[in-house]
Structure 1
Amino acid sequence: MFTIIKGITQWNKNNHSPKLNVNALVVGKRTAVRGGGERRAFSEYFVTFEVESSDRMELEVKDADYSMLVEGDFGELAFQGTRFLGFIRSANDKGVL
């Protein structure tokens, strides 16, 4: 029950957050596997971005987005709260903020 309430609260908070576009560098990727045993296992995909202020944020992404991003990619990150909206790789992909 706690997980459901937490999920709804985060969803609502994201909906009320502004949509932002910032320059960012992909600095890390990881996966997490949930379930298994007698329950179906599934994977979650996370990417860590570093923005111009040197702050880092980890966002959950879809598997297709995860597979397209590589550490060192530089571009424009679009997000809303903790919700990943997209990443457009820069033509000047030097990996420097």
Structure 2
Amino acid sequence: MYDPFFMEPSFASLFIGLIFIFIVSVIIFNVARGVKEYTKNEQSPRLSVPAEVKAKRTKVRSAGQNHHSSTSYYVTFEFSSGDRSELKVSGKEFGQLAEGDVGILTFQGTRYVEFERQIVE
């Protein structure tokens, strides 16, 4: 039995197929990027260096209709050489750090490990 709906691709079925391929491609790209960053961080040496907290910022993402949101926390550290690095930290760490804090920053690649605050007299 011949059914033209299944034999000839319509614009709608092509469009839906392209959307599906696009979504799958975006997911694969993001997973690959995450694996690449994780691998790079694992291969990087763990460094502990003197640093100062220079700035703090948050990034809030909203997930549309259901009013769900997530917050990412970032802290900018300045090293004695004048170089700066912005690292993603947990909400707890973000709350415990203040701009102007001085201490020893431990990080591995782009991964924040810890910040040991030092008392400046």
Q: TM-score, normalised by structure 1?
A: 0.90
Which fold has the larger relative contact order, with Cα–Cα distance below 8 Å and residues 6 or more apart in sequence?
1
Regions of 4+ moved over 3 Å: none
* Mapped pair 1:62 → 2:98: no
Q: TM-score, normalised by structure 2?
A: 0.73
CA RMSD of aligned residues (A): 1.2
Matches of 1:45 and 1:73 in 2, distance apart?
17
Larger Rg computed on CA atoms: 2
Number of residue pairs the alignment of both structures matches: 93
Unmatched runs of 5 consecutive residues or more in structure 2: 1-26
Cα displacement (A) at 1:24: 0.2
Q: Match for 2:72: what amino acid? A: E
Aligned counterpart, 2:41: 14
Matches of 1:34 and 1:3 in 2, distance apart?
17
Aligned counterpart, 2:117: 89
Stretch deviating more after TM superposition (28-37 or 69-78): 28-37
Q: Which has the higher strand share?
A: 1
Residue by residue over 1:54-96, the C-alpha shift from the partner in whole angstroms, topping out at 9 and shown as x without a partner, is: 0000000000000000000000000000000000001226xxx
Selected match of 2:73 from 22, 31, 45:
45
Give the fraction of aligned pairs with identical amino acids, expressed as a percent.
43
- Tell me the secondary structure at the aligned position of residue 94 of structure 2: helix
Q: Match for 1:18: what amino acid? A: P
Cα displacement (A) at 1:14: 0.3
- Tell me the secondary structure at the aligned position of residue 64 of structure 2: coil
- Tell me the secondary structure at the aligned position of residue 119 of structure 2: coil
